[in-house]
Structure 1
Amino acid sequence: MSCHAPGPGGLPGPDDARRGGGRADLRDPATVLLVGNPNVGKSTLFNSLTGARQQVTNAPGTTVELQVGVWRQAGGADPVRLIDLPGTYSLLARSPDERVTADAVAGSSRLGRADLAVVLVEAAGLARSLYLLAQVAQTGCPLVVALTMADVAASRGIPVDADRLAEVLGVPVVAVDPRTGAGIPELARTVEAALSAGPGSVVGIEAVADAADADGADLAAGLAQAETLFGWVDEVTQQLATPEPRARTASDRVDGVLLRPWVGVPVFLAVAWLLFQLATSLAAPLMDAVSAFVSGPVTDLARVLIPGPAWLEGFVVDGLLQGVGTVLSFAPLMAVMFLAIALLEDCGYLARAAFVADRAMRSLGLDGRAVLPLVVGFGCNLPALAATRTLPHARQRLLTGLLVPYASCTARLTVYLLLASIFFPGHAGTAVFLMYVASVALIVLGGLALRRTAFRDLEQEPFVLVLPAYQRPRVRALLLSAWLRTRAFVTKAGRVIVATLAVVWVLLALPVTGGHAVADVPVQDSLYGSAAQAIAPALAPAGFGEWHSAAALVTGFVAKEVVVGSFAQTYAVDEPSDPSQAGDLGAQMRATFEETSGGHAAAAAAAFMVFVLAYTPCVATLAEQKRLFGGRWTIGAMVVQLAVAWVLAVAVFQVGRLL
């Protein structure tokens, strides 16, 4: 579709400084931005245009997640570098996500200046999309409009004609359906024509009105600007002569029931329970199958192919290959959860869940969307971190991501069952239940503490959420989204996991006393055991200051479920197949805890359980935290978690031994 001359309500043409010529350097691929409101179909369009030629990354210097891909257009046109920016309703940034979008459109970020912006305008929500469109035009960035959800608007009795909208706006408008691919070839031709002809051919890159400072320094000018933009939006909508929407749509009728507390809360709890089951029951067999394949046939083949000394075989098989197996075993879990969350988001229910849960999350400075990652965290912390991407702002994602490790995952449950069956045989169920109560308390108290310290700047904004129409999910788009995000986890977080497990193997393989060969040394005589013995005195105030316990906790950094196996290994007994039936292991642990606690073994066991609940999560979760939020926040969170775990464990033991 060619550019149109501006109509009476159109955006003014480009200023003289930006006229004429094409792109300055045709050797580099053009950079095209996707800009739009949340839930307007932007990410779906991005996936349709780039396919698997994309990567998930962070905006430079931030923890804001971006998707960057290559759009290879048909007909031999040059490929385009496509950037999917965070959704926003305004370029007057109030969050890091909105700041990334505003700076990228203005060309002032480290992403570089874009050659073109494709602004997605929702036909069913025209006014709010036009407001953002006008702000993009103010920045001077050339633009093309992609009109989405035209079918939804038509079903509501408010059809929008793309040609008429292009005539009124004075910019190219292409109707697209990212879910089916309709209109994408025409969008490709329009973008290519705009890039080839240069900025001068794209009308509408001059300010609609004189802009105030983006940070709102001049409030009066900012209000005047907003009034001007709203006036322009009203003028455009009047020229389109769109009819009044129908009174109630099918989505409205469903929401009339689903958003009532007595229906919405039970439905939300049912969905949360289903997600919990996916993270445990469904994903667990897949994880076990992958783990068995790596530890079985792949390991056997590696032992045959690796020449040289035994220590080399041990490093490759028990170090590197063990790390690869751990990463690959988590991949099915991540894929299942990514798929489930994308499904809830695509069909429109996720916004409803946020609405229902919002009131419960307000005290933590979060909106209702934060409840989903926290619920998933009780199944597994790793996919819970992935679920934070549904939150609208980077600071909210970070705060939620710091709270997720306090959700007691099922891996910790095996430790609770072991300790409870040994030290509280008559009240094991109650002991385990209290650990989950403590977990919820830690999340709430941790959130309140963070809101009053590191997150004082997190404003308590009114919860404004546009509820998208219910839609039938598109399987191909969901599978592609899950694949790409799972691949990002495996390639980025996987490196940290493999490196960490390799280091653990080295610590276990290196002897610190004579008479042992490398990779053939008892745990207590290894560098790992020596480190555990050095740590043990610090745990004495909690009642379990002995190297067996310290070694198990250090192993828990790798994975909480191997704490039980570590106890069995250090005591040189068989690991119990059922943690609630401890056998010989239970007898030896009881004797050790009696000795280290001065006869208060039950109090020491309770302290150990609390420590396991509160201290640093598994290495896979740490790797994902680093990928999402950066090393500084991850290391800081580790230090705080260890301090909280130690203080709580000491308090539980010191109070418990007096009772």
Structure 2
Amino acid sequence: MSTTHKAASCHSNAGGAVAPAGAPIVALVGAPNSGKSTLFNALTGAKAQTGNWPGTTVEVARGAWRLSTAHDCACAGTSECHCPHQAQAIDLIDFPGAYSLDPMSPDEELTRDMLIRHPVDERPDAVVVLVDATAVARGLNMALQVAEYPHRVVIALSKTDTAAARGITVDVRKLEKQLGMPVVTVNGRTRSGIAELERAVRAALATTKTTLRTSHDPDDRFRDVDAAVKAAVTRGPAATTATEKIDRFALHPVLGPILFLGVMWLVFQITTTVAAPLQDGLEAFILGPVSDAARAGLEKVGLGGGLVEGLLVDGFIGGVGTVLTFAPLMALMFICLAVLEDSGYMARAAVVTDRVMRAIGLPGKAFIPIIVGFGCNVPAIAATRVLAAPRQRILTALLIPFTSCSARLVVFLMLAQTFFPAHAGSAVFTMYVVSIALVVLTGLLLRHTLWRAMPAEALVIDLPSYQLPTARLALSVMWIRLRGFLRTAGGIIVSTVIVIWLLMAIPVGTDARIGEVAPQDSAYGTVARTIAPAFAPAGFDSWSLTGPLVTGFVAKEALISTWAQTYAVADVTDADPTEQAASPLASSIRADFEAASEGHALAAVWAYMLFLLSYTPCVATIAAQRREIGWRWTLFGFGVQLAFAWTLSVIAFQLLKLVL
């Protein structure tokens, strides 16, 4: 395989700058928490691509690393030097974290295959092995394994500042001499040592691929690692570090969970409170000045009113607006996760929650995206990337839609005030308790069916030292993830919003014009009347109650505005809950439930809220699932949730109508 072909062989489902065809390919490998991804982000900036490697479920990142240092020559650094100084682009690939080339997971298998299983001409042109200075022996094991095959190898020593705080110093020159491979120190967070790394990689690319070690005997390798450590690593007395002091609380069996809940509460507040004004402002801007300008422009060219205006303004612009309103929330969530990861706290959160999550076959880190789901399912599913194993990401992404997001909360509050005004708070709290129960029960069900042969994994995780997060890194990670979501999920969201608009605009069995039809006489109304009988056992066999569930597929809070349009009354989405309960809309909904349930309105509304809680999530969540776990698992979750929601609502109505 040619270098050009190799450069194009990694499929990516997110946009970003890539190195030009024919650029050298450099693999970045190393153990988890060695600073590998931080260094990758520092070298490629916010212009990386992420995507599954072809034929696998393993995600890698790749991007253009544009070198800027001069080629090594005798006159480098002088004014008379005429050596070539032009920058060179490298196709940098960040492979999943791996401790060795003896794979224990699909992620490590990919690293092994690319480095030693593929033909020599299909392997990377050079390999940068990142070695954590606080655990040199562990990192060198991987480096020496790579050197047992024909490769150009450069060792990048990271976290030397953390090692120094622990009384560990590494003599780079002695280590280099002992190993027979170039060694440089580098810090991706501060960008120090990058120039030296550039020179080392350039020099390596100018050489021929060589097998530096002829023996594949693990005992020989371990002896060489031990000799290198003894020659180059010095350990002195170390005082109690800040990390050790903080961990006395962060990992305490009682205080640890309390601290974790506090951190998650803060994240939840940021995603639901701080983002809300930004979302409302974007929505007002899209539905106000932007939509008004579009209508005025269409009016000038004689296309005002009718289908064209509706399709463009209510369909396309409304769909784009739906996507953009998620941007502030997603951005804040990605920043929060980047800060937690960069600070070192994410690993502690995994330890604290591991025991609870293992009950449903997930590691402790899975608790974080599930908690985030109570704010919004969309960034929560994107947050499953903190999980290493594909199975864990899939299971967590299937469970997250059962969490009661803030969009559902809007509807729950309105229905609770309408039907249980004296106990509205308790009713909403009950829905959150049911939501948690659904997550646990569904997790147990899936663990003992689809994944019954795969026991819960023991948690094996490095606890990195705490460090102050850098704004540059957090913003870079946020932008990469946000851009990837908008590019891949945005099209699905916009197209679905347009389809829903068309359903509500197309008349069926009436002479009304397209775009001027009453909801009950539209294709939307026809669909609603068709599916309504299926909900007779659940107590809400009414097109005006089932129809909003269709628009709820676009956004759950759209149920209230759909009801307002259906009953031809004012939308009370932004009204005070007490005002909502006393509104004409609330009266219409009460009458509708009373008639559909044949006098068992309270039982029917509980069944309705349970269905709303557990049925298919919004289109933005579907798009996020498709991006993270693929169409096959997304459609599987779609079907399971519909079946589960219907069954749960029917059982609830049939039981509750006996006592309510």
TM over 0.5: yes
Cα offset for 1:241? 4.7
> Which residue number corresponds to residue 530 of structure 1?
526
Distance 1:532 1:597 in 2: 17
Q: Decide whether the 8 Å contact of 1:415 with 1:579 is kept in 2.
A: no
Between 432-441 and 23-32, the greater mean CA deviation after superposition: 23-32
- The aligned counterpart of 2:352 is 356
Q: What corresponds to 1:466 in structure 2?
A: 462
Please show how residues 545-556 of structure 1 align to structure 2 within 5 Å. Answer: 545-556=541-552
Residue equivalent to 1:28: 22
Counterpart code for 1:554: V
Of the candidates 46, 49, 52, which is equivalent to residue 58 of structure 1? 52
CA offset at residue 247 of structure 1?
A: 6.0
1:481 corresponds in structure 2 to: 477
Paired with 2:424 and 2:247, the residues of 1 have a C-alpha distance of 43
Is the 2:359–2:444 Cα contact (8 Å) retained in structure 1? Answer: yes
What's the CA shift for 1:454?
Answer: 1.9
Mapped contact 2:607–2:650 kept (Cα < 8 A): yes
Measure how far apart 1:597 and its partner are.
1.2
Decide which of 297, 322, 345 is 1:305's aligned counterpart: 297
> 1:335-358 CA deviation, whole Å, 9 max, x = no partner?
101001100111111111111111
Could you tell me how far 1:423 is from its partner in structure 2? Answer: 2.1
Q: Is the 8 A contact 2:168 2:233 kept in 1?
A: no
- Provide, for residues 203-242 of structure 1, a one-character-per-residue CA deviation record: whole Å limited to 9, x for no partner: 63x56415xxxxxxxxxxxxxx4x5544443232223252
Q: Is the CA contact (8 Å cut-off) linking 1:137 and 1:208 kept in structure 2?
A: no
Report SS of the residue matched to 1:558: coil
Distance 1:476 1:27 in 2: 29
Say if 1:422 and 1:27 are closer, same or farther in 2 by CA, change over 3 A.
closer
Paired residues for 1:126-141 under 5 Å = 126-141=136-151
1:615 aligns with 2:618: no
Q: Which residue of 2 aligns with 1:96?
A: 106
Computed over aligned residues only, the root mean square deviation of the Cα atoms, in angstroms, reads 2.2
Normalised to the residue count of structure 1, the TM-score between the two structures is: 0.90
Matched, 1:294 2:286: yes
Tell me if the contact between 1:395 and 1:458 (Cα under 8 Å) persists in the aligned partners: no
Instruction: Measure the CA separation in 2 of the matches of 1:84 and 1:133.
Output: 16
Alpha-carbon distance, 1:280 to partner: 0.4
Pairing partner for 1:45 from 34, 39, 42: 39
Structure 1 range deviating more: 291-300 or 332-341: 291-300
Corresponding residue of 1:214: none
Given candidates 332, 338, 342, the residue that maps to 1:342 is 338
Partners of 2:56 and 2:529 lie apart in 1 by 40
Task: Return the match for 1:264 from 239, 252, 256.
Answer: 256
Tell me what 1:222 maps to: none
Offset from partner CA, 1:282-333 (integer Å, 9 cap, x none):
0111111111111122112212223436311111111111111111111111
Question: 2:517 maps to what in 1?
Answer: 521
User: 1:197 is paired with a residue of what secondary structure?
Assistant: coil
Call closer, same or farther: CA 1:89–1:419 in 2, change over 3 Å: same
| Deviating more after overlay: 236-245 vs 621-630 | 236-245
Structure 1 pair 563–193 and aligned structure 2 pair: CA distance change class (3 A): same
| Secondary structure of the structure 1 residue equivalent to 2:88 | coil
Q: In the alignment, what sits opposite 2:448? A: 452
Q: CA deviation at 1:27?
A: 6.6
Counterpart of 1:591? 591
Pairing 1:83–2:75 present = no
The answer to which of 348-357 and 424-433 deviates more is 424-433
- Percent of aligned pairs with the same residue? 50
Q: Is the 8 A contact 2:152 2:205 kept in 1?
A: no
Which of 323, 328, 353 in structure 1 is aligned with 2:324? 328
TM-score (norm 2): 0.90
1:467, CA displacement in angstroms?
Answer: 0.6
Aligned residue pairs: how many? Answer: 620
Amino acid aligned to 1:636: F
Measured after TM superposition, the shift of residue 52 of structure 1 is 2.7
Q: Give unpaired runs (5+ residues) of structure 2.
A: 8-19, 69-84
8 Å contact from structure 1 (residues 95, 394) kept in 2: no
Moved more, 479-488 or 418-427: 418-427
> Does 2:639 align with 1:639?
yes
CA distance 1:231–1:266, change in 2 (3 Å) = same
Instruction: Specify the SS of the correspondent of 1:560.
Output: coil
**311 and 88 in structure 1: CA distance in 2 versus 1, 3 angstrom threshold:** same
Q: Which string of whole-angstrom CA distances, capped at 9 and with x for unpartnered residues, describes residues 504-561 of structure 1?
A: 1111111112311111111111111111111111111111011011111111111111
Q: Does structure 2 conserve the Cα–Cα contact (< 8 Å) formed by 1:611 and 1:646?
A: yes
Residue number among 259, 262, 273 corresponding to 2:265 in the alignment: 273
Equivalent AA in structure 1 for residue 634 of structure 2: T
